[in-house]
Amino acid sequence: MSTIKQVRALEKMVENGGNVSQAMLEVGYSLNTAKTPQKLTESRGFIALCEELGLTDNLLVNALVEDIKTKKGNRKAELELGFKIKGRLIQKTDITSGELPIPILSLERKKEIDDAINSICNYSNNFDEIVRLYEQ
């Protein structure tokens, strides 16, 4: 038996193109739970819900085989959505940074490199020195 949250999460996944973690957050799952979407997609209730609604493994496999054989029309997006919903296609999404860039360098190191580049650019056109700084 599926829960109301599972039903709402499935509806959100259909709306957002299959992003399970995003759908989970939107319907009230905790951030920790949303970080492991298979907790939803592999749950008995969610699997049963997909089956009840006709989104069966057999349907997906048959549609994929038919699409490969006939190549009439492009149903790639629909098939991907089906596989994502069934937890068979994992899309890794960063849900912790609010879609902001995640810095690779520490802010101190970035400032040090920026200052060195500015200094080099102001006093010479020494490209090798700039490359050396970035390779450190």
Task: Kindly report, residue by residue over 24-39, the tens digit of the pLDDT.
Answer: 999 999 999 999 999 9
Spatial contact of 14 and 53, defined as CB atoms under 8 Å apart: no
Do 81 and 127 belong together in one domain?
no
Query: Does a structural domain hold residue 121?
Result: yes
Asked whether residue 14 falls in the same domain as residue 63, the answer is yes
How far, in Å, are 43, 124, 127, 131 from residue 119 at the CA level? 57, 8, 12, 14
Confidence of residue 60 (pLDDT cuts 50, 70, 90): confident
Residue 19's CB is within 10 A of a number of other CB atoms, namely: 18
- Higher pLDDT: 75 or 9? It is 9
Residue 90 covered by a domain: no
> CA–CA separation, 52 vs 79, rounded Å?
18
| Cβ burial 29-53 (10 Å sphere, 16+ → b, else e) | beeeebeebeebbeeeebbebbeee
The verdict on pTM exceeding 0.75 is no
Q: Which domain holds residue 55?
A: 4-85
C-alpha dist (Å) from residue 93 to 34, 103, 129: 11, 16, 36
